[in-house]
Amino acid sequence: MTAAREYQFTRKDFEFLRRLSSQRTGIVVTDDKFDMFYSRLARRVRALGLQNFADYCDYLEQPAHDDELIELVNALTTNLTSFFRENHHFDYLAERVLPEVAQRNRGARSLRLWSAGCSTGEEPYSLAMVLAEQEKLLRGWDIEVLASDIDSNALAQASAGIYPLNRVENLPRARLKRFLQRGRGAQQGKARVRDNIRHYIRFEQINLMERLAVEKKDVIFCRNVIIYFDRVTKARLLDRFADHLVDGGYLFVGHSESLLQVTDRFELVGHTVYRKVR
């Protein structure tokens, strides 16, 4: 027996909200997300002092309440991540990609990476650790990791660079000592990312469905993001990524994602690692 809901939530409400969220994020929302929408958005209905979800839908339609669209997206986006998730990608970056880029860019001595969909920051900080460990190869280079996400709350956590100790305990001891600082006082039980890798990263809120005003990159990590898009949206986003990669630039995607029969602008060169071909 289904427990009584605090707020009335109809199919009409769900259809409106999933259409709005898809327009905003490009994410395809399936029918089985009905309960998830209720559980995550009920707190917004409560916070706004509204009576039901129909009132919430009306609220979102008012131009004066555009800021609530940000809260809607924040509530619905999933931020599952960890340091060095899918570690083979970071090995491939260190062993294959960075030496190649160092040779190609030896004149400009510039390196640009993008963590697109960086969530709470573990991915861009992992990238920064790899870059710091390649200090001999990249000493004196102009290096930047753009870390972006649509979720402003997740991005704020990422920028803060503070994590519970259980989120970092699986890192090798050498990396823990070199790149993280154990908190004290009010920060006891937490770890803060040290400045020796923070300086590589620039955080920016970016909606991948909107026009991308970013410079060309040598490497893009966009993992476990395109899996949520339909085929047309995937193709459009991959075109944008190709346009924002240098010739021969690399795109890393998630372990369950494939570009096969979606785009011909990349070739597969490793396990879920692609190189731009046109």
- Catalytic residue (one of 40, 178, 192, 194): 40
The token duo for 157 is 């956590």
Q: Give backbone dihedrals phi and psi of 6, rounded to 5 degrees, phi first.
A: -65, -35
Residue 190 pairs in a beta bridge with 164
Concatenate the DSSP letters of all residues of 135-195 into one string.
HHHHTT-EEEEEEEES-HHHHHHHHHTEEEHHHHTTS-HHHHHHHEEE--GGGTTEEEE-H
The residues near 114 (Cβ < 8 Å, ≥ 6 apart) are: 145, 146, 147, 148, 214, 217, 219, 220, 221, 222, 244
- Catalytic residue (one of 13, 44, 112, 149): 149
Q: Is 247 a catalytic residue?
A: no
Q: Is 18 a catalytic residue?
A: no
Residues annotated as catalytic are: 40, 149
